[in-house]
Chains A and B, each alone.
Chain A
Amino acid sequence: MIAVDNLRLSQGAFALNGINFTIPTGRYGVLMGKTGSGKTTILEAVAGLRSVSGGKILLDGREVTHATPAARGVGYVPQDAALFRSMTVSANLSFALRIRKAPLTEIERRVHELADWLDIAPLLDRFPHGLSGGEAQRVALGRALACRPRILLLDEPLSSLDEDTRDQMTALLLKVKQAHEVTVLHVTHNRREAEQLGDVRLRLDAGQIDSEA
């Protein structure tokens, strides 16, 4: 579950006050809003990448408002994928497991499992440089899911993709949704994405969050 209670955020002249929403466990939440409305700011606050000036963030019932990003157990896919350029695709996928000093056999098994699931097995030995936008996004999704987080945060994961690739990625995200293993917060400015994917649809408008049926 992702619960945001009366959250206050400020950055320079920009401020959000009294942000409230809940995405139940295992559900796929989509937060819509115009560019510059602050939806990415909210996502970053949930990820722990931005300090908050008030209110509470709860993940699976545990308050994490001021916890470090590492302590939150979230998977995060930024808009530009932000793959680790000095590592191969395989090393990108295994990064979270290696940081946790997981056994080699487990790392190997998980990397191959993810590669098959994301259909990126032929890319494992390649470096991120030269991957297409869709390939990079799939690797970023795999990297975020490697440690089986309970929460997945997606920042406009489809916005930089062409139409065909977007459909493939949407199909992949539907698979994530149907597995009900993670609670998702997906940020987008695209209504169609919200309708295709969202169980819980939220709209950020003029600093307030409204639920859509």
Chain B
Amino acid sequence: MSTHSPDAAGQRSNRVFYWCLSLLGGTYIVLIVAMLVADLAYTSPQHFSAALAKPEIRYAIMLSLVSCSITAILSLWVGVPLGYLLSRTQFPGKTLVDTLLDIPIVLPPLVIGLSLLILFTSPPGRWFQENVMSVTYFVPSVILAQFSVAAAFAVRTMRVTFDQINPRTEQVALTLGCTRGQAFWNITLPEAWRGLLTAGTLSWARSLGEFGPILIFSGATRMRTEVLPTTVFLELSIGNLEAALAVSLLMIVVAVAVLVLTRTLGLRGTGLI
């Protein structure tokens, strides 16, 4: 009789299988952890306080917080109606609209910045800047650059949210005396609160890391259009690695907090988290 029973051989083979998977996948996990550890090892609380003491960096933090918050609200402003229409209605050109909405997600960020720059140097863009407000190289350009990308994520999140809500509840509300608008405000929107929070949070986080379009469309002027990614770029370009790293760590902390919040809210399956 063989000393190796088929069962023992099978179990060993299973162990080898899982070891191989863990080894291959584990290299990526190690890379992520190693990057974070290296960042933490390189910096110190003194670097943090020195960076936070700089008025330019304080301005960048403030502008980042304000612009991201405005962008998140604007993203929801378009994300809710578009997500709802895509989820609940059929209309001519729906596939085209759906594809158009993915363009900001797949387009290289620099191209978005360049496209915005070109738009605002075209005759209608120039008219807007002369008669309504200055955009290019001013704070509104920061918000518009962030919004151009973040809104696409809000639309996708809201669409998934509305897809997950039973349309039957709205139909019942219609039979109970509601108009479409009343059914939406009273039934669907309150049921979508997790999705709203997720979409808002994702837009906010996405805006916080936005750099390419801002660099092209808003420039990198200190105390004017400098947001946190710009700070990292500017500090690096003058060789101040400590400040660049301190600001980077600040952004990592915020990003992780957002990730935890989004996961806690439990809206998975958006393809985004």
Query: A70 to B169, Cβ gap below 8 A?
Result: no
Give residues 164-201 of B contacting A (CB, 8 Å): 166, 168-169, 171-179, 182, 186-187, 190-191, 193
Query: A76 to B178, Cβ gap below 8 A?
Result: no
**Nearest-CB distance from B195 to chain A (Å)?**
13
**Nearest-CB distance from B163 to chain A (Å)?**
16
Query: B178 to A99, Cβ gap below 8 A?
Result: yes
Contact check: which of B166, B168, B171 meets A69 at CB < 8 Å? B171
Q: Which residues of A contact B178 (CB under 8 A)?
A: 70, 99
**Nearest-CB distance from B177 to chain A (Å)?**
5
Give residues 41-65 of A contacting B (CB, 8 Å): 47-49
Q: Which residues of B contact A95 (CB under 8 A)?
A: 173, 176, 186
Given contacts A82-B168, A85-B191, contact A49 B176 (CB under 8 A): no
Contact check: which of B172, B177, B182, B190 meets A147 at CB < 8 Å? B177
Q: Which residues of A contact B172 (CB under 8 A)?
A: 76, 78, 82, 84, 140, 143-144
Chain B interface residue number, banded: 10 to 19
Query: B171 to A78, Cβ gap below 8 A?
Result: yes
Query: A70 to B191, Cβ gap below 8 A?
Result: no
A–B pairs, 7, beta carbons within 8 Å: A69-B175, A70-B176, A84-B169, A85-B191, A95-B173, A95-B176, A147-B176
- 6 nearest interchain CB pairs? A86-B190, A82-B168, A96-B176, A69-B174, A76-B175, A69-B175
**Nearest-CB distance from B273 to chain A (Å)?**
23
Given contacts A82-B166, A83-B169, A85-B191, contact A99 B182 (CB under 8 A): yes
Query: A68 to B174, Cβ gap below 8 A?
Result: yes
Q: Which of A69, A75, A76, A100 is packed against the most chain B CB atoms within 10 Å?
A: A69
B residues near A (Cβ < 8 Å) are 166, 168-169, 171-179, 182, 186-187, 190-191, 193
Further pairs besides A75-B175, A82-B171: 4, Cβ < 8 Å: A49-B174, A76-B172, A86-B190, A144-B175
Query: B175 to A82, Cβ gap below 8 A?
Result: no
Tell yes or no: A74 within 8 A of B by CB.
yes
CA distance A147 to B176 in the complex (A): 8
Tell yes or no: A193 within 8 A of B by CB.
no
Query: A70 to B177, Cβ gap below 8 A?
Result: yes
Given contacts A84-B187, A99-B182, contact A72 B166 (CB under 8 A): no
**Nearest-CB distance from B176 to chain A (Å)?**
4
Tell yes or no: A5 within 8 A of B by CB.
no
Q: Which residues of B contact A146 (CB under 8 A)?
A: 176
Q: Which residues of B contact A84 (CB under 8 A)?
A: 169, 172-173, 187, 191
**Nearest-CB distance from A139 to chain B (Å)?**
11
